[in-house]
Structure 1
Amino acid sequence: MSLFGSIFGGNAAEPSSNINWIALTDLKDLESMIQESFEHPVVVFKHSTRCSISRMALRQFETDWNLDGKITPYFLDLLEYRPISNAIAERLGVVHQSPQVIVIKAGQAVYDASHEGIGVEALQDFVSLDSKHSS
């Protein structure tokens, strides 16, 4: 694969990485994710497979990921499943962005970031704070 192909190419809906992503592919998955958030925090990464900024943010997020067992990661392909993104915006009151991460706890969006603001470090801070409050 060429340099540009490796940076911008590929149309895989789900990333292959060290993150054990759970794909959001229908509205039932969204409801299950929200219900799970009452047990522990979940994060959804909203990704556009046609956007180079989204691809770079995703790769950096995957590279930095070290939260296995602390927060459940969900993945949403925005181009394939735009109605789910719309439902997230409506249900959680978070304005749609791409790329975007949203942390959900107890059925509520408690953190979101987009574009260059996406980073695992902020999630680590959130998970640490969450652990202190639940102790």
Structure 2
Amino acid sequence: MVSEMTSVADWNAAREASFEYPVLVYKHSATCPTSAWAQRNIDTWSDDHADWPVYRVTVQSSRPVSNQIAEDLSLRHETPQAIIVHNGKVVQHLNHNRVSPDRLSDALHKLDLPA
């Protein structure tokens, strides 16, 4: 399930949660066709990985959240942008046409997580 982040407090909670388990943060543009395509890929991936939290920030309506994510993670803002955060840090970053279920799954499998 994808949760919408609309405040910096939402982002802070998601980042804090990443110390317990990895989280996927997805930056979405409501006006970009590539973002619409990436959103479908995020939804497909999320359906197959229901145990992984996914947080979406729509940049047009939540620019302060998007900016805070970029600042906190020292990551240039892009949309679409999928960011896997673990222990408060970026462990994988995909943007534009690279946001795909296969690449997200590959990133998940590369993490050394306890069973």
CA distance in 2 between partners of 1:47 and 1:61 (Å): 10
Counterpart of 1:67 in structure 2 is 49
Which residues of structure 1 form unaligned runs of 5+?
Answer: 1-19
- Name the aligned partner's letter for residue 128 of structure 1: H
CA distance in 2 between partners of 1:21 and 1:97 (Å): 19
- Report percent identity of matched pairs: 30
Which residues of structure 2 form unaligned runs of 5+?
Answer: none
The alpha-carbon deviation at position 60 of structure 1 amounts to 2.9
Check if 1:32 corresponds to 2:16.
no
Bigger Cα displacement from structure 2, 73-82 vs 52-61: 52-61
| Alignment TM-score, normalising by the size of structure 2 | 0.91
Counterpart of 2:93 in structure 1 is 112
Q: Which 4+ residue blocks in structure 1 deviate beyond 4 angstroms?
A: none
The alpha-carbon deviation at position 67 of structure 1 amounts to 1.1
The alpha-carbon deviation at position 22 of structure 1 amounts to 1.2
The alpha-carbon deviation at position 133 of structure 1 amounts to 4.6
Counterpart of 1:78 in structure 2 is 59
CA contact (8 A) 2:45 2:104 kept: no
CA distance in 2 between partners of 1:127 and 1:82 (Å): 27
The alpha-carbon deviation at position 58 of structure 1 amounts to 1.1
Counterpart of 2:104 in structure 1 is 123
Larger radius of gyration: 1
Counterpart of 2:84 in structure 1 is 103
Partner SS for 1:103: strand
Counterpart of 1:89 in structure 2 is 70
Relative contact order (alpha carbons < 8 A, sep ≥ 6): 1 or 2 greater?
2
Counterpart of 1:41 in structure 2 is 22
CA distance in 1 between partners of 2:104 and 2:37 (Å): 18
